[in-house]
Structure 1
């Protein structure tokens, strides 16, 4: 499946996931081949799975009608933002790439929150020397277990340890209670062969590598001995500090009625769409500005901590993470419960909800929302 990584990296919203994280997500996906004339039906597309047309051509039928889709012309998921029954029929032999929706949304959110941290670090000159090893940590599969809302807390739990050549850091057979990241220096990994009464060096590891991570989630014995072959610095994460990171922070949420009461009535209430640019361009809430989750730190100077910010995403996952992050930075930020999926699913029952959606862009200038007009900028009221 990883052989497809170059092709799928342009899919929406997968283009928001760095390659190393996309590779992890691809392991959760599977292919489905449709021969000419055969069909696939889904009752909850977008809620259960995201389906991309990897090759071929299909006809997609929804309650709104039918559409012919060609792989070479479409980067969006099939029947994007259609949360109802969908039938996909192959016009020619075609390959579908199917991702579990929850896995995709979680990975996208985690990846964008990791980028959020990178952007913050890049803007802080006092942390220049930490940037390289922090990037290694953010790319570690270990922290995929940590909810995206807690990404910023990871670094406060790491403690430095200065080590010397010859120091034994973990010993095979011991029960571990911490893992280590190598910030500086090199180490060797040895495995004892009890029958031969000897040790074998199986690897040498350097900056950015992590070892002993099994101790954080399991009560197991160390399966190798790790000792330093150079002087260096390690960053230690204890099990007691790691386990609280697994608890998800929840932002304050508001419902659609609350949003409608604010929409166009309160110029100090700003609606922020934290999805990627292509998702925003497909359709978004009226007056909503697009500030993708991963670049939120770049836009902080434009925000006013006296204003209210309502964040939303496709299902509320990314907007919850963004609202938590902004709240920790002192902003009045909440998340729209259910996200856009609540509005799209309701369109079949209440067509007036479509009036809330637009493709016209909006921006934040001088702290307020402005519309993109041909002549000048008009403040939205």
Structure 2
């Protein structure tokens, strides 16, 4: 059976109040959520059409906004899902375990799962750094600009584990109105962030100069030529006096490489926990409450900076999530603070239908006390 074609809706603005209630989108900053939704699709599916088919890999989070859907298992068993009855994506295992068929006309949102995971991790790491940066009094004047940088266009291309390195590698450069910062056709050897001022982006084509955009504080430019190792495809000229922060080519390439994170093989999971390692689930509270590892505590990545004070540097902490991206980030960030951390390798194995029935059966809430997990009330 093939999924039937749905009817794409004309381009519309997503209702942020609505999408910001969905799990795990609710934990994303507005800038990262908007970047995610720019590539998402909102669709209408007519009664009788299928949303997805059992056995398929589609790499999507599918959220039902309105209408009724039947989830049909291989044995013919049907389960009805009503729009907004759940804030989670519908029957999210890959490959699909059931076929979803619209019982009524439905509206839904489809989001690329890989992009969601990347932007969610980036957003939550930025939240972690914002809390840490705000505690450093000598950075008070730069907090707003630094947070703008962390939510800039560059960081959708750089692994989030490297974000702590960025500010130590930036070199300030005072510039003046009319200065040509990069020229179309040149080979790029650095990229820039605008700390103060504005610049115009222009392109020469058919003997004419075309104005493409005016960019301001927090915007990164020049990175495409470094990523693609190509000539500059536009010129950037300062519109006003200002200050740029320059990042050299070699430093940029270092940021593209994932740092080494200590990991634990999946087959060593039970033994490591039995030896006293504390399991830490860094997913959202809603995801955690659906089922987690026995006696695992919930420390969502976006509040890691607050909760880290409850950890003990004498204990070992094993981090996990549904894909491994958020947990690797958490393990890396806390290892930098001197904690003993491990990230569970191949986390996705935990979330297969069979493994969930074995490993993720605990729904009790656990808290950190003296660095250890204790049952919550």
TM bracket (short chain): 0.7 to 0.9
Work out which of the residue numbers 16, 34, 39 in structure 2 matches 1:28. Answer: 39
User: How does 1:132-147 map onto structure 2 within 5 Å?
Assistant: 132-147=144-159
Q: Does 1:358 align with 2:359?
A: no
Partner residue in 2 for 1:169: 181
Q: Does 1:17 align with 2:24?
A: no
User: How does 1:300-339 map onto structure 2 within 5 Å?
Assistant: 300-339=308-347
Residues 188/359 of structure 1: CA separation in 2 closer, same or farther (3 Å cut): same
- 1:100, 1:192 → 2: CA distance? 35
Shift of 1:289: 0.8
- 1:255, 1:201 → 2: CA distance? 53
- 1:323, 1:5 → 2: CA distance? 34
Partner residue in 1 for 2:300: 292
Work out which of the residue numbers 89, 99, 110 in structure 1 matches 2:122. Answer: 110
Shift of 1:82: 7.2
TM normalised by structure 1 equals: 0.85
* Contact 1:311–1:333 (Cα < 8 Å) also in 2: yes
Work out which of the residue numbers 49, 52, 72 in structure 2 matches 1:61. Answer: 72
Partner residue in 2 for 1:368: 372
Please give the secondary structure, in 2, of the residue aligned with 1:154.
helix
Partner residue in 1 for 2:7: none
Shift of 1:311: 0.2
Q: Which runs of 5+ in 2 are unaligned?
A: 1-10
* Contact 1:180–1:235 (Cα < 8 Å) also in 2: yes
Q: Which runs of 5+ in 1 are unaligned?
A: 374-381
TM normalised by structure 2 equals: 0.86
- 1:90, 1:227 → 2: CA distance? 54
Q: Does 1:347 align with 2:354?
A: yes
The superposition leaves residues 330-361 of structure 1 with CA deviations (integer Å, 9 ceiling, x where unpaired) of 2211111232x42342527x95x15x522211
Please give the secondary structure, in 2, of the residue aligned with 1:12.
coil
Residues 288/242 of structure 1: CA separation in 2 closer, same or farther (3 Å cut): same
Shift of 1:151: 1.9
* Contact 2:203–2:233 (Cα < 8 Å) also in 1: no
Partner residue in 2 for 1:229: 240
Q: Does 1:3 align with 2:13?
A: yes
* Contact 1:216–1:238 (Cα < 8 Å) also in 2: no
Residues 318/195 of structure 1: CA separation in 2 closer, same or farther (3 Å cut): closer
Shift of 1:34: 2.7
Shift of 1:216: 2.3
Q: Does 1:52 align with 2:63?
A: yes
Shift of 1:168: 3.9
Q: RMSD value over aligned CA atoms?
A: 2.8
- 1:79, 1:369 → 2: CA distance? 30
Q: Does 1:279 align with 2:287?
A: yes
* Contact 1:170–1:222 (Cα < 8 Å) also in 2: no
Please give the secondary structure, in 1, of the residue aligned with 2:84.
helix
The superposition leaves residues 124-181 of structure 1 with CA deviations (integer Å, 9 ceiling, x where unpaired) of 2221111111122112122101012112222222111233455443345543322222
Shift of 1:2: 5.8
Partner residue in 2 for 1:241: 251
Shifted more, 117-126 versus 311-320: the winner is 117-126
Partner residue in 2 for 1:377: none
Partner residue in 2 for 1:212: 222
- 1:296, 1:202 → 2: CA distance? 40
